[in-house]
Chain A
Amino acid sequence: NAGVTQTPKFQVLKTGQSMTLQCAQDMNHEYMSWYRQDPGMGLRLIHYSVGAGITDQGEVPNGYNVSRSTTEDFPLRLLSAAPSQTSVYFCASFATGRYGYTFGSGTRLTVV
């Protein structure tokens, strides 16, 4: 049981490039979310999904797209990377009826 798996662990992008951060969970959790972590600001919600085919925006969605074609996968796409998107990104999931999120180990992204 791997939990929440994120790839890659590290990535350096040039301004304007696009990329996809991958997230997969094997716990059959309905809910999945993407957060970004910046110093002193805690974790801020980017996008979330309440089930396959259903996504919605969080607190800081600009510049990011998501889709949820299966229960297991919830990729985060950066459309045109900007230095302001330099951050650590965490994917998380939780099951209906339970309250605790399970987080992945994160992707550290640097945009130069």
Chain B
Amino acid sequence: AQSVTQPDIHITVSEGASLELRCNYSYGATPYLFWYVQSPGQGLQLLLKYFSGDTLVQGIKGFEAEFKRSQSSFNLRKPSVHWSDAAEYFCAVEPDSSYKLIFGSGTRLLVRP
């Protein structure tokens, strides 16, 4: 079955530390891939997206993500986390040019001062 997996429900990092949030998908072909961030009480904001080409994509707020076809992964990274990055992060895929975003279950990021 088609699915998007974010294996970490919660992650806690210290401010200034590096961050990696994991995302794996299971689809036959390479779908379009996205990372969204949701702050408490807010809607979702797009951080970055991958359609094709360079497998390392840069996004807003200093985030980047790397697409690895062999691992069916699209992990999100940030070299130095700020307290304002505390939020919930969602990986999403759009399979088969369907316009239908399939979201993972989300990873809640907590930042220690």
Are A and B associated in one complex? Answer: no
Q: Which residues of B contact A (CB under 8 A)?
A: none
